[in-house]
Structure 1
Amino acid sequence: MSRDLRSHDLPGRGSRRACKAVTMHTEPHLVWKAPAGDRFPRPDWSATDAALPAGLPDGDLHRVYGALARQWVDGLRDALGGGYRVHGGGDWLLLSHECDRYVELLLQTLRRDRRRIARALDGLADDDGYGPHVLLLIEDLDDYYAYVAHFYPRHGGAYAQSAGMFVDDGYGHLIVPHRALEDVEAVTAHELTHAMLRDLRLPLWLDEGIASNMEQAITGRSLYPPEPELIGRLIEYWRREGLEPFWSGASFARPDQGSELSYALASHVVAFLGGDYPRFREFARAADPADAGNAAAREVYGEDLGALMRRFLGDGDWTPRPATHSR
């Protein structure tokens, strides 16, 4: 589910399970932000959380966040207008402009993929939380970028091309621009993987590499086949640029080929490491964004990430520099 109420979300309030259980007798209401010039309703989830009574039992929390999510998605529907509808209930809320058959097939796929991700990433993927998963399927590309601009970094005034996002802000949700159903299903497989990994707080290269490999496993499409042309581009680009933007995560949002080649390299490295899944799971659970997972690699694999990367890029100083990294 998509509203995660661990201690980092509710500073100072402690565990709800440790409090005396109470019952909520009135319907909850969202607290809204009012950013200047923003056409989309943006909930203030911290203020909304603070307005709820402490100690609500799990069943009430699930119901409360289901109602809050519906208020939020209804507000987005009204802001977008033009035939958008809210579908689903229970485990998913889907805002879309699509016909009922399209929505039915997509919801079936989302439910199936969630089960597949949980099985494939046993010990890593986590579906805990309250309220339904939320997917915003946006018809107009300008509307899509207007929405994600609130969360998406610019580089020199330009955005990297985006096929979809998992927005881990307040109430985690998926947002995807309209395209053919098969293509939307590929994007949601990738972004749902991010959603189910979010509590690990992985280095970005590792998070993206896992999501890319999961997308390939679910769709059967090879995103970055190890062909000589791609391998040559990877070696040439990273030898010229150095790997620090990759380790820090900055290169994934570049509006040039650096973004594609970041995803490609991450996908190949994770595919290699994932061949021994028990060790990979141990590594992923220990990987710290502060050093791009370098200490965890030494502990689990007996060599640092620089040595690992020489298998892909040849000789060079590829070791992460911790001072440059954040997530």
Structure 2
Amino acid sequence: MILEVALIAGLWLVLNVLVTRRVLAVARHLYTPHRMLIATIWLFPFIGALMAFTSTPSLRVARGVVDRETPQDRDAAHGPAPETLAADGAPDFAVTEHLQWFHELPLLDWDALAAWAPPAMPGDERSLATHADAIERGRHAWLLHLREQLGAHMGLFVNKDAYVLSSLDDAMARQTADYVTTARARIERLLRGVAQFPGGHRSILLVLDDEDTYYRYVSIYYPDGEFSVSSGMFINAGCPHFVVVRGHLQQLEPVIAHEMTHAALAHLRLPRWLDEGVAVNTERRVAGAQGSLYTPHELHEMHRRHWSAARIQQLWSGESFFRTDDGTMLSYELARIIVEQMARDWEGFLGFLRAAHGAEDAGFAAARDTLGVDLGAFAAALVEAPSDEGWSPQPAAWRSLETV
């Protein structure tokens, strides 16, 4: 009996190791949900290995896909950063003359680019496509100029849905771009009816090598801000794009999913707490829940101690997401919980998102009218506050908020 158990255990161990190696080898060439597959292998004896084996192509097939692909992606294919762009019926656009420099990094004058591009006529698909193509060539030109300034080790990878500017090798850059494609599709499916990626434009992902370069870049857009710890950010200024720290590559997927959700909802101009709450919940659906330093009970106690009528106004105004203490983490968590609870009525929640378009009252009127919910009372109940007095959004008081 002992010998039989030992043989079965040995067979299970060898099988798991072999299939795990196969999954990792394939993942170096093609995008696969390798972390989920490996967890399945080790959590479910024999069945997990079978599921992972049948869910991944052979290494020969994976290599064949890469070999057959004609990369439009790395540096030799792009050539040097262009100085001008041409368009039918318009003078050339002088790219270099419209570059603005901050911290020795270039930004393109996006208003000038839009003014130069052939006009887009509503309902005219041809003019819309021509306009989008001109803007896309301007975005591509900017990325090439940015690549030159960030260093020769940086490369620009392009697929049908994404630009990835990074120092990743070809296989990893391709895998990251493929993940952007996968994430876009999942986000559009999860948030059908409200998610909207601009037609004719790829998603732009800047993968910067370290935190110093990351903060140097994002400080262009937030020059006077005091930043909380961050590994990724969606920037919706002129040219929507998201930027992440390379760090541990395994951590990129949830950051990409989170920031791409912001990109898909940017057209709604949602209040920050709502935008972040949807992004965190969607990130979990797309990339899986991440580990936490705290148990749910510990988090609940932290919420009870932290939130007050004064501090909840910082959540509604968006100010608390830029704190440099635990208040930032608790803001993301509370936003996530509020959205999670509201979204139990999914159709009603989608109506709330549409009604909250451009709301300057943190979505108070939209929540009341579409869901019959008082935001202040709702948040107070979730953290078990003794009273909800003063918890509803008070926009007139936000400008005078101080950190509390």
Checking the alignment, whether the CA contact within 8 Å between 2:118 and 2:131 is kept in structure 1 is: no
Distance 1:119 1:204 in 2: 22
1:123 aligns with 2:193: yes
Higher relative contact order (CA closer than 8 Å, sequence separation 6+): 1
Percent of residue pairs identical: 34
Report the counterpart of residue 49 of structure 1 in structure 2: 114
**Cα distance, 1:255 vs. partner?**
1.4
Checking the alignment, whether the CA contact within 8 Å between 2:208 and 2:243 is kept in structure 1 is: yes
Checking the alignment, whether the CA contact within 8 Å between 2:281 and 2:340 is kept in structure 1 is: yes
Report the counterpart of residue 316 of structure 1 in structure 2: 388
Q: 1:60 aligns with which of 122, 127, 130?
A: 130
Paired residues, number: 302
Moved more, 281-290 or 165-174: 281-290
**Cα distance, 1:275 vs. partner?**
1.3
Distance 2:174 2:116 in 1: 35
Q: How does 1:252-263 map to 2 (within 5 A)?
A: 252-263=321-332
Greater share of helix: 2
Alignment TM-score, normalising by the size of structure 2:
0.70
Checking the alignment, whether the CA contact within 8 Å between 1:69 and 1:131 is kept in structure 2 is: no
Report the counterpart of residue 32 of structure 1 in structure 2: 98
Gaps of 5+ in 1: 1-21
Q: How does 1:1-327 map to 2 (within 5 A)?
A: 23-24=88-89, 28-30=93-95, 32-35=98-101, 38-55=103-120, 57-152=127-222, 154=224, 158-222=226-290, 227-239=296-308, 241-287=310-356, 288-314=358-384, 315-317=387-389, 318-324=391-397
Question: Structure 2: which amino acid aligns with 1:42?
Answer: L
Checking the alignment, whether the CA contact within 8 Å between 2:119 and 2:131 is kept in structure 1 is: no
**What's the RMSD between the two structures over aligned residues?**
2.2
Checking the alignment, whether the CA contact within 8 Å between 1:28 and 1:64 is kept in structure 2 is: no
**Cα distance, 1:198 vs. partner?**
0.3
Point out the structure with max Rg over C-alpha: 2
Checking the alignment, whether the CA contact within 8 Å between 1:32 and 1:41 is kept in structure 2 is: no
Checking the alignment, whether the CA contact within 8 Å between 1:93 and 1:135 is kept in structure 2 is: yes
Checking the alignment, whether the CA contact within 8 Å between 1:109 and 1:185 is kept in structure 2 is: yes
Question: Structure 1: which amino acid aligns with 2:266?
Answer: R
Instruction: Return closer, same or farther for 1:246/1:68 CA change in 2, 3 Å cut-off.
Output: same
Distance 1:240 1:228 in 2: 22
Alignment TM-score, normalising by the size of structure 1:
0.86
Question: Structure 1: which amino acid aligns with 2:239?
Answer: Y
Checking the alignment, whether the CA contact within 8 Å between 2:309 and 2:388 is kept in structure 1 is: no
Distance 1:222 1:100 in 2: 27
Distance 1:100 1:165 in 2: 24
Distance 1:24 1:235 in 2: 63
**Cα distance, 1:240 vs. partner?**
7.5
SS at match of 1:159: coil
